[in-house]
Amino acid sequence: MIELGKYAGTVLAAYGISLGLLLAVVVQTLVANRRARRELEEHERNG
Protein backbone atom coordinates (compact mmCIF):
# COMPACT_ATOMS: atom_id res chain seq x y z
CA MET A 1 0.00 0.00 0.00
CA ILE A 2 1.34 3.44 -0.93
CA GLU A 3 1.76 5.64 2.13
CA LEU A 4 0.76 9.24 1.46
CA GLY A 5 0.06 10.21 5.08
CA LYS A 6 -1.54 13.57 5.82
CA TYR A 7 -0.70 14.84 2.31
CA ALA A 8 -2.81 12.23 0.49
CA GLY A 9 -5.35 14.83 -0.68
CA THR A 10 -2.61 17.18 -1.85
CA VAL A 11 -0.75 14.54 -3.88
CA LEU A 12 -3.89 12.98 -5.36
CA ALA A 13 -5.25 16.39 -6.35
CA ALA A 14 -1.98 17.27 -8.11
CA TYR A 15 -1.93 13.97 -10.02
CA GLY A 16 -5.65 14.04 -10.77
CA ILE A 17 -5.70 17.57 -12.17
CA SER A 18 -2.46 17.10 -14.13
CA LEU A 19 -3.48 13.79 -15.68
CA GLY A 20 -6.90 15.24 -16.49
CA LEU A 21 -5.31 18.20 -18.30
CA LEU A 22 -2.89 15.93 -20.19
CA LEU A 23 -5.73 13.60 -21.17
CA ALA A 24 -7.82 16.56 -22.36
CA VAL A 25 -5.09 17.90 -24.66
CA VAL A 26 -4.36 14.40 -26.02
CA VAL A 27 -8.04 13.73 -26.78
CA GLN A 28 -8.55 17.19 -28.32
CA THR A 29 -5.46 16.66 -30.50
CA LEU A 30 -6.61 13.24 -31.74
CA VAL A 31 -10.20 14.35 -32.40
CA ALA A 32 -9.08 17.44 -34.34
CA ASN A 33 -6.59 15.37 -36.34
CA ARG A 34 -9.17 12.74 -37.24
CA ARG A 35 -11.66 15.41 -38.31
CA ALA A 36 -9.12 17.26 -40.46
CA ARG A 37 -8.00 14.06 -42.17
CA ARG A 38 -11.58 12.93 -42.83
CA GLU A 39 -12.64 16.32 -44.26
CA LEU A 40 -9.61 16.49 -46.55
CA GLU A 41 -10.05 12.90 -47.75
CA GLU A 42 -13.76 13.43 -48.43
CA HIS A 43 -13.05 16.60 -50.36
CA GLU A 44 -10.30 15.00 -52.45
CA ARG A 45 -12.46 11.94 -53.11
CA ASN A 46 -15.43 14.04 -54.26
CA GLY A 47 -13.16 16.18 -56.40
Partner 1 sequence: MSIWEYANPVKFMRSSGAILPWVVAGAAICTVFGLVWGFLTPVDYRQGATVKIVFLHVPAALMAINAWLMMLVASLIWLVRRHHVSALAAKAAAPVGAVMTLIALVTGAIWGQPMWGTWWEWDPRLTSFLILFLFYLGYIALWEAVEDPDSAADLTGVLCLVGSVFALLSRYAVNFWNQGLHQGASLSVAPGERMSAVYRYPLYLSMLGFFLLFLALLLIRTRTEIRRRRLAALLARENRA
Interface residues with partner 1 (CB under 8 A) are 2-8, 10-11, 13-15, 17-18, 21-22, 24-26, 28-30, 32-33, 36-37, 39-40, 43-44
Which residues are CB-neighbours of 20 under 8 A, at least 6 positions away?
none
Phi, psi torsion values for 26, nearest 5 degrees: -65, -50
Query: Where would I find the beta strands (DSSP E) of 1-47?
Result: none
Report the nearest approach of partner 1 to the CB of residue 18 (Å): 5
